[in-house]
């Protein structure tokens, strides 16, 4: 979670943007965006998608997801138990 928060803030600062400007992109308030950056509120998926498009980055980068090279794509990490 901390890596996501660091990237969220870092992208904004590296592009010399204010929280208010990013909030406008997302259609939310500066106060709510500040809460996202602090981790006080979870960011909705629609906002994550909007930021990925805005910054031209992948969600994997923003969310700090590294693919597991030992698993086939599309295969779950575990199998849920079957109902009796």
Q: What is the number of alpha carbons within 13 Å of residue 57 lying toward its C-beta?
A: 15
Angle between helices 19-26 and 45-55 (to 10 degrees): 110
Provide the whole-model pTM. 0.81
Residue-wise pLDDT tens digits, 39-75 = 999 999 999 999 999 999 999 999 998 877 777 777 7
pLDDT band at 7 (very low <50, low <70, confident <90, very high): very high
Burial class of residue 4 in the structure, from the number of CB atoms within 10 Å of its CB (0-12 exposed, 13-18 middle, 19+ buried): middle
Mean pLDDT of the chain: 91
Q: What is the pLDDT of residue 80?
A: 75
Residue-wise pLDDT tens digits, 15-37 = 999 999 999 999 999 999 999 99
User: 34: Cβ–Cβ under 8 A, 6 or more apart, which residues?
Assistant: 19
Domains within the chain, CATH numbers bracketed: 2-62 (1.10.260.40)
């Amino acid at each position: 979670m901390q890596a996501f928060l660091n990237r969220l803030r870092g992208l904004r600062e590296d592009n010399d943007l204010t929280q208010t400007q990013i909030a406008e992109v997302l259609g939310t308030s500066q106060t709510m965006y500040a809460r996202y950056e602090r981790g006080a509120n979870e960011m909705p998926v629609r906002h994550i998608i909007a930021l990925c498009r805005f910054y031209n980055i992948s969600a994997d980068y923003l969310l700090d997801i590294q693919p597991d090279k030992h698993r086939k794509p599309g295969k779950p990490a575990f199998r849920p138990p079957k109902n009796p």
